[in-house]
Amino acid sequence: MYDMAEAFIEHVYVEAAMDSDGDGRGDLIRADIVRPRTPAAVQVPAIITATGYNGTPGGKPYVDNANRDVSDLAFMPGWEDNYFVPRGYAYISVDVAGTNWSEGCVDNVGPNDVESVAAVIRWLHGEPDSVAYRNLDRELTVDARWSSGKSAVTGISYDGGIANAVATATAVPGLQTVVPIAGGSSAYNTRPHGVFVGGGTANFSEWLTEPEPAGVENPSNPARLREHQAEKRRVCQPQFAGCALTPTPPSALTTPSGTPATTRARSTPSPRTA
């Protein structure tokens, strides 16, 4: 067992293999890491939650939006780090593209979400073309020599859907397993008879990218965060406006090998007879 009070905490920005905001550079994906303080020769596996909720008002348990200063150990107050880190795992919370501190545009369990977590997994695995930085200005690269290269992805609801998506949409070196909890697998197929039902999902993308409200302080440079969020909304607004209403049809999906995905045909009910 390792002492949680002595855990290492770091924030890195992993460059993804996508440019969803069109600025000519790979989107930087923010990863908040809590890992045990181990001897230099000891490497640890990682448990990852990729989420769009870290920047939303009231996004607990993954973020503490309290209007007060908080300690480094309190920034991720959920049970995940407190349970896994003492047992020899790193716990990592990833901001998917377009949310919180990450660059890019959100797409709700689409290719951008998948590449967000896949980029972090590749970096942890030590892939030669993976790079991470200490900040959004791309200053000071950082490696993951502490990582064993093995990762698992978990999450609840939307975050569980991301875990499902990264497991089925791509082959990622280092991904060992996923543990989705009440996670969806297809927003398209779960619409009753193809009919969109209103509610929170109608404006889900806009809600995920909503800037922090006035008066809510983030302990790490709140002014820069609000500026960053506002710029993402300006650039990405045309891309996510109404995207919850137009999910990707199954015919447009592909398997990891690049071949079209197959869908199970619905049976036609027999006519009712007297």
CATH code (residue 215): 3.40.50.1820
How is residue 36 annotated by DSSP?
A: -
Beta-bridged to residue 139, according to DSSP, are none
E-strand ranges in 16-126 read 28-35, 44-51, 90-95
264, part of any domain: no
The boundaries of the domain holding residue 78 are 4-247
pLDDT at position 187, please? 65
Residue 191's contacts (CB-CB under 8 Å, 6 or more residues apart) are 197, 247
Which H helix or E strand runs over 149? strand 147-156
274, part of any domain: no
Q: Which residues of the chain carry a pLDDT beneath 50?
A: 57-73, 213-219, 241-274
Counted domains in the chain: 1
How far apart CA 146 and CA 44 sit, in angstroms, is 6
141 to 30, 46, 112, 224: CA distances (angstroms) = 14, 20, 23, 21
104, part of any domain: yes
Beta-bridged to residue 260, according to DSSP, are 254
Q: What is the largest CA-CA distance in the chain?
A: 77
- Cα end-to-end distance, the chain, whole Å: 70
265, part of any domain: no
How far apart CA 200 and CA 178 sit, in angstroms, is 26
pTM of the shown model:
0.74
237, part of any domain: yes
44, part of any domain: yes
132, part of any domain: yes
156, part of any domain: yes
